[in-house]
Structure 1
Amino acid sequence: MTFDDLVEIYRHTRFGADGEGTLTIASQPILDSIREIDADPRLYDDVQIGLLDDAPPALGAEVRIAVGHPRHSLGLLVRDFDALFQAPMAAFEEPARYYVVDPGYASGDLPVPATLARYRALLDVVAILRNAASYVDEVQRELVFIGDEKTVVPIAFRAADLVPGLEANAARLKRVFDGALHGDEKTEILATAVVRLVGSLRQSVRFSHLVRNLDAVCDEVEKGYRLFVSSFSYSKIRDDVETARIEFVGKIHRTIVDIQGQLLGIPVATIVVASQLKSATGCGLPFWTNTAVLLGAWIFIALLAIAIVNQWHTLTVLDTEIRRQQQRLADDYALVSGEFADQFDDLIGRIWWHRLALGGVGGVAGLGALLATIAYLMLTARGSGACFLFWS
């Protein structure tokens, strides 16, 4: 048996105050349902509807029945909207299937009562408040805000608290939070407004006071967000990105400028080595001159290699920082971040070319040192290694 079958029974029942009612068997489906329930104890346990009269039910007759709460998975039977709002999880989402005795409304019926329409608007507000709260206790139905102090807001309300302006104010609040831009800042502003409004009240009335004064919360959030946005503009972001780009370009260029002296020394050292190496046939002055020149060349190469490695690491740090700034821009200003993608790509491209240049410089210097070593070995007679032993 489905909850729709139960709703048909509820609609034709005059409910009393003691869990009893009078059912008018107005149709064959109702009669079939009553007979089925009366014949199956397990079904009775699920639907909690029982006949109180001894006479068998008949079409068109009125019978007294006992009506209880059906199994929760079937649906909810509540006396009024206040009881509906106290149902499990009803503070966060509308129950899927329910029947409200007063005013005789079942979920899905049209037109929607004004109280239910305001309740649905309130659920939109609760969803926004959940994101602003530090944490949410669904079992206790509490929103907890932690700032200078811990502020607990129990989600307790009645139909009388759902004032006529609730739907319009809920729509105002939703408009502020539409879109992902500045989401963290918006929720922080909302949390501050809520704590300021209800923090001094006793817990039991905080949420109802918040609902009744939702227009004041909307005003506070809108004003706070306008104040925040006043410091945010496209031109300001563009200027900040351009300033950062110029700074990064300078740092990237310095990776070459800082070792420019060593780079200029490469051709000088090559010329010196080429002009100073002479043919050496023994352990005389030419041999020691050639050895000193070659040793100087390799010392220069070692110092240059240290400088290149150091600048390579500098470029790695700059690359990481540029990508971090790019991601931060995408997170904070997602709507306009694409406008500046080319500038970040240009910086990353510059780093790639500077790395290529550093690698080329290191390769040329190493090749020069290798050629100098080959020239040294060619100009030095075989067996000259004994000169080092003799010298020592």
Structure 2
Amino acid sequence: MQPVRGSTYTVYVSLEIKESLGLILDDDDALPDSGFHFAGNCHEIVEGGTIEMRVDSPRLGLGILANSFSDYLSRAGVALKEKNHFFLKDCSFYSKDDVVPLEVVSYRSVLRFIGLLEESAYYLDEKAEALIFYKDGRFEVPVKYGHQDVSVFDNAALEKLHVLMSGKLHEEQKRSLLAETVIELTASLSPSERFSYLVKNIDELYSKAQVGYNLFSTDFTYEKAKEEVHTFKLETTSRLHKVISEIQTQLLGIPIATFIALSQIKRTNALDAQFAINTVIFFGAVVFCLLLGGLLVNQYLTLTTIEADVKRQRKAFEKRFETTPEAYVGVFDGICSRLVFQTGAIVSIAVLTVLVALISLVFYVVHTRPIFDALFS
């Protein structure tokens, strides 16, 4: 292509140029955008001949024609979004080709990385091409990177970071943690170096974000375990309290029954009115002891059921909160201790009831001589 004057050139027509110019000149939409101005008609374009035409800059909306990928990255507007149409001359790559160079694959991953950071940032200033964060004031991360940054980008680390940030569980907390990690890693750097550092050290960014999330989830699990254990403790304590409160009145009757049995039974040598009184008092004491014994057995079975529930619930907590045993071990140990104490108290009361019955029997037999004579004469 030889210049004639200004932007007018003499062009040697090869087969490729003939075909390309034919397509452009026949397309009324493409011709104004192409920058080509040819005064003749398509029949004058003959392979092996020459034509004279004016060549101006094409409309940029057509895309980018770059000598190399580094040249492409130097163009305006490509740091945040891939152009729909661009062509790299050094590797003959068009943006819509199926076979994509590794550097373009990494570039597209960097754009995904920017999108991931945008979700954690306060906002993305597209005009200034900067991610804006806020922590103790405005914190900017200008999106500036070059060919070298893209070439070393760790796609595997990006996938791990994407997995960490995906999902609805703790979504806001994870975004906040990522933003804090970005600020922590780049606060000591100049603004122009921050994004480049993140691109080169995305694995470190992921590792620190993962550690932060693990600490958060552990604290969350601990608080949740404490809340559930507290609820279970209140329910179980209420049930244990009810076991004792239901027999408190009957427990007060033990010394009363003993006092009646010992003070009202008097000595008699005949089948008289005192004999009848002694017998009625004795059988009253026996009936009381039998009723109390039945109630004690029922309360003991209730304690056994509560104990089984506690063991089952403890196993469930051990499976669900195995990383935070301190949240529930102390509470369950306390409940188990109270279970042991109340079981011991029920057994002791049962033994005392049996002793009351035996004492009443001995006192009745000794003071009611007709019964004593019938048994021992």
Structure 2 length as normaliser, TM-score?
0.51
Indicate the RMSD between aligned Cα atoms, in angstroms: 3.9
Partner residue, 1:127: 115
Taking the aligned partners of 2:87 and 2:115, their CA distance within structure 1 comes to 24
User: SS at 2:220's partner residue?
Assistant: coil
Deviation at 1:86, TM superposition (A): 5.1
C-alpha distance after superposition, 1:293-332 (max 9, x if no partner): xxxxxxxxxxxxxxxxxxxxxxxxxxxxxxxxxxxxxxxx
Partner of 1:105: 93
Where do 5+ consecutive residues of structure 1 fail to align?
1-12, 14-18, 249-392
Residue pair 2:130, 2:141 contacting (<8 A) in 1 also: yes
- Paired letter, 2:121: A
Query: Are the equivalent residues in 2 in contact too, given 1:154–1:207 (CA < 8 A)?
Result: yes
* Paired residue type of 1:172: K
Q: Does the CA contact (< 8 Å) of 2:13 and 2:47 recur in 1? A: no
Which whole-Å CA distance do the structure 2 matches of 1:64 and 1:100 have between them? 28
Aligned-partner SS, 1:175: helix
Please report how far the alpha carbon of residue 22 of structure 1 lies from its aligned counterpart in structure 2 after TM superposition.
Answer: 7.9
C-alpha separation in 2, matches of 1:102 and 1:84 = 11
Describe the shift of the 1:60–1:193 C-alpha distance in structure 2 as closer, same or farther (beyond 3 A). Answer: farther
Gap change, CA 1:155 and 1:139, over 3 Å in 2: same
Question: What is the CA distance between 1:105 and its match in structure 2?
Answer: 1.3
Q: Give the distance between the partners of 1:52 and 1:79, measured in 2 at CA.
A: 30
**What is the rounded CA distance, in whole Å, between the counterparts of 1:152 and 1:67 in structure 2?**
39
Spell out the pairing of 1:311-330 with structure 2 (5 A cutoff). Answer: none
The amino acid that maps onto 1:125 is F
Aligned amino acid, residue 33 of structure 1: L
Tell whether the 8 Å contact from 2:110 to 2:153 is kept in structure 1 after alignment: no
Indicate the residue corresponding to 1:70 in structure 2: 59
1:26 equivalent among 13, 16, 25: 16
Instruction: Give the partner amino acid of 1:121.
Output: S
| Compared CA separation, residues 190 and 219, structure 1 to 2 (3 A) | same
Q: What is the TM-score with the length of structure 1 in the denominator?
A: 0.49
Partner of 2:303 in structure 1? Answer: none
1:91-130 Cα offsets, whole Å, 9 max, x none, are 3332222222332211121321111100111111111110
SS at match of 1:162: helix
**Residues 239 and 100 of structure 1, relative CA distance in 2, 3 Å threshold:** same
What corresponds to 1:256 in structure 2?
none
| 1:242 CA drift (Å) | 7.0
Residue in 1 aligned with 2:297? none
Paired with 1:231 and 1:151, the residues of 2 have a C-alpha distance of 28
Unmatched 5+ stretches in structure 2: 2-6, 236-377
One-letter amino acid of the counterpart of residue 34, structure 2: V
Shift of 1:51: 6.5
**Whole-angstrom distance in 1 between the partners of 2:25 and 2:79:** 37
Counterpart contact for 1:82–1:158, Cα < 8 Å: yes
**Structure-2 change in CA distance of 1:45 and 1:244 (3 Å):** farther
Alignment-mate amino acid for residue 168 of structure 1? A
Q: Supply the distance in 2 between the matched residues of 1:22 and 1:229 (Cα, whole angstroms).
A: 70
- CA displacement at 1:174 relative to structure 2: 0.7
Q: Report deviation, 1:67.
A: 6.4
Letter in 2 for 1:179: G
Identity within the alignment, %: 24
Which secondary structure state, in structure 2, belongs to the residue aligned with residue 230 of structure 1? helix
Paired residue type of 2:175:
T
2:168 to 168, 180, 183: 180
Q: Distance in 1 between matches of 2:158 and 2:39?
A: 47
Q: Contact 1:47 / 1:71 at 8 angstroms: preserved in 2?
A: no
Name the CA shift for 1:107/1:209 in 2 (closer, same or farther; >3 Å).
Answer: same
Counterpart of 1:211, as a letter, is V
Matched residue SS, 2:167: coil
Count of residue correspondences? 229
- The SS at the match of 1:153 is strand
| Paired residues of 1:70 and 1:76 also in contact (CA < 8 A) | no
